[in-house]
């Protein structure tokens, strides 16, 4: 049986602005949905659609576990994750 890979990610609306942690099996498609505001909810309401950080996991279960742990991180730790990969707070979507 082939395991489905997964991604955890952090979106932002502007530098040091509102953050959102999510999980998906198709990162490019999911971020496109956020950018197009395809679904009502938090990211649409607050304009959170820039990809600041992501991790790839070999198994979707691991991605979901990581999402849960990331959601429990203090805001400062989430910002540290973004800055570790993306110190200039660029929208990484355009590099996928």
Q: Tens digits of per-residue pLDDT, 43-86?
A: 999 999 999 999 999 999 999 999 999 999 999 999 999 999 99
Kindly report the pTM of this predicted structure.
Answer: 0.95
The mean pLDDT of 21-47, rounded to a whole number, is 96
Bigger pLDDT: 3 vs 51: 51
Fold adopted by 6-95: GIY-YIG endonuclease (3.40.1440)
Half-sphere exposure of 86 (CA within 13 A, CB side): 23
Helix (H) or strand (E) holding 67: helix 60-71
What is the 8-class DSSP label of residue 96?
-
Instruction: Please report the pLDDT score of residue 62 as a whole number.
Output: 96
pLDDT classification of 3: cutoffs 50, 70, 90: confident
Share of the chain above pLDDT 70, in %: 98
- Cβ burial of 32 (10 Å; 0-12, 13-18, 19+) is middle
Share of the chain above pLDDT 90, in %: 96
Q: How many C-beta neighbours within 10 Å does residue 26 have?
A: 13
Instruction: Please report the pLDDT score of residue 2 as a whole number.
Output: 63
* Domain edges within the chain: 6-95
């Amino acid at each position: 049986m082939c395991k489905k890979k997964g991604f955890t990610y952090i979106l932002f609306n502007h530098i040091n602005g509102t953050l959102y942690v999510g999980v998906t099996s198709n990162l490019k498609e999911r971020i496109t949905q956020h950018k197009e505001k395809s679904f009502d909810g938090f990211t649409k309401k607050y304009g959170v659609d820039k990809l600041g950080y992501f991790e790839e996991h070999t198994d979707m279960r691991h991605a979901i576990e990581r999402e849960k742990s990331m959601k429990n991180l203090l805001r400062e730790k989430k910002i540290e994750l973004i800055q570790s990969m993306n110190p200039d707070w660029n929208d990484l979507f355009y590099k996928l």
